[in-house]
Structure 1
Amino acid sequence: GRKFGRISLGGLHDESEIRGHRRTYIGAMPGRIIQTIKRCGSSNPVIILDEVDKLTVSNHGDPSSALLEVLDPEQNTTFHDNYIDMEYDLSKVLFIATANNIANIAPALRDRMEMINIAGYLTEEKVRIALDHLLPKQREAHGIREAEMQLSAGAVERIIASYTREAGVRSLDKLLAKLARARAKQIAFDEGFAAEMTDAEIEKILGMPKFLREEYEVGGMTGVVTGLAWTEVGGDILYIESVLTPGKGKLSLTGNLGDVMKESATIAHEWVMAHCEELGIDPKLFETRDLNIHVPEGAIPKDGPSAGITMVTSIVSTYTGRKVRERIAMTGETTLRGRVTPVGGVKEKILAAKRAGIHTIILSEENRKDIAEIKPEYVDGLAFHYVRTNDEVLALALE
């Protein structure tokens, strides 16, 4: 029941936009905060500070420093606006800031705020949003009756998988608008059509699919292990391959890997060398063979601490010749002691594995709590194994 105000901070570079101008200047005005409170007509409104990570610094001062006083509950009881030249109490205002990239917010300002991380939608959630909200909205905007345009849940899911790569639903909304425009044209020109759009019709309007869905395709191979990765637009599966070549024991890494993944590979290799006798690997192999570890899709940069156990499994499989079990995927980091440590983004990774047709997933014991937060229907048909050490991973993953 409170009044609502919105301040867009994108590209704001002048400190006086927040604090106001002194009245000695021509055209002086109060700052955005006081203006919004005046517009709301209430001293305890809810104010959205939109795009707080897009503030820029210029020679007119630093607006993010001016926001420190606004957002600090210890200081904002006496917020000083240059125009009204009096203290104003902002402590009753509820400020909600939005940002896409936390790294762009000044550390001092970040410290004043409580972080609420909103994850991207799952495919299943996007389908419901599209059918319950976006499609009715587009039908209304294009003057189409419900009986004249319908999409099945399967068709919407194929549009999401084949044409979009995003955390939200903005691109999906544009694609549905494109379909609605095509249908509106058919109605206007009295062209014959069926109410429910077919896959062939959708492909004709939207063009060839932009993205191919990741499908599991490496059953029963040696040295190829399926890992799980988190991306900004949801989860994905990735393959980690390794192969031995004649040489002098050199380790080489390919596939556009970041520093963290390179370190994971080195740790995995060192751990295998240290435990070669228990694993049944001839120590002479380390002197007479080079090892290459490759993560396909070299054009895409890959980084993050979640491929440690996948690399260990791939390396052991290559050295011992033991095959990797069918339809199994894993995510977790490893230490030199062989301990499996937890990783983030578990929810998105699990759903990516399920979409790709994987049945068994290996996770760190400490990630067990993350699975409890996923709705049971999303993890139906998946078997989870929680591990503490690399030995447990290898027992589960290798034949």
Structure 2
Amino acid sequence: MASRTEIGVIYGAAVVQGLALVTFPAASSIFTSPDGFGFDSTRYGTMFVPQVALAILASALAPRLARRWSLRRVLLAGFAGNVVSMALLALSRLLLGAPDMAFALLLVATAALGFGFGATVMALNTYAEAFFPEGVDRAVLVLNALLGVGTALAPVLVAAVLALGAWWLLPVAVACVFVLLVGIASMQPLRAETGDASTSIGWMNLPERFWLYAAAVFVYGILETLNGNWAMLYLTGERGVSARGAAFALAVFWVMVTLGRVAIAMIARYVPARWVYAALPVLLLITFQIVSHVQGQAGGIIALGLAGLACSAFLPLSISFGGKEFPHLSALMAGELIAFYQLGYGVAAFGIGPLHDPGGLTYATIFAAGSLVALPLVLIAYFIVRRPL
């Protein structure tokens, strides 16, 4: 049985990982402002390509490395990647007058973040399932709710450090907390069953229904990232919202992601999780139409709050459903699904820039098209839940 310290490390790390993940998009005004690095939307989107590539690689390899070495070592490696990323982000402030050099440094920083996120989140989800085998859905939902707490804090904290004129303080603080976590985790056993290395299977031998889950989290990754990475630029560039107001709207999005996960975990005894899972894509389809027609700060806050609620539990429920359906492959399912989620993240993080600048599409049009992307997710979710879990 896991100790309180072990549980605290896992669930505390989720908060800090969420904070690290959203620090880059929450600071989009720094990257795109003429007073900051002055990147255009295409370069801003390209900045996330290494993050996606390394996150996919780390998520895909982490289950195999966990069986070969240990899940604890994978977790510590993920923490180290986050430390490197936040340190490089803080150091980039020294290159404000040299945007090309800063861009190169930030590519390395996002690559380190991708590795850190992929390894850490795969390990955290596997530990949550292992520590609470009798309540997997709730354990994974709570873990991802705490991840959401971190993502919700990032825009607020970025706005606070911007007001102080020292935005680099946030990545420094996050790096220091990760160093502390490395120290604590190094002294804990953190044992979890991940299977023997001899049981490793290849991509071609994965269960057929794995690909349903993979398709679901891939499409979900596109939809979540459209909100999380591009909403601030949409609100400030096309709806006349101030940078501070847009940061608050983004914070509300992540707060509602978190509150939705908490609420769904609380009602899990009374409302079947599979019903919630099937309903969330429908709500996403509707909210993208609302977001695309908002006017002003208040409308943006309400619309992004609804979008956050629609996003809330879909990813953690995909991971927990997959783990329960294939318990002997729980670590593998968590890792590979996070990889496909990151692939969707990459499509939206990089793909929106070319659509907006060379393509000439407005952000409002792109958000409206989000409903078309959500439509297949409705069907995929139906095929997942129609079989009893």
Which band: TM-score by shorter chain? under 0.3
Q: Structure 1 or 2: larger strand share? A: 1
Larger RCO, structures 1/2 (Cα 8 Å, 6+ apart)? 2
**TM-score after normalising by structure 1:** 0.23
**TM-score after normalising by structure 2:** 0.24
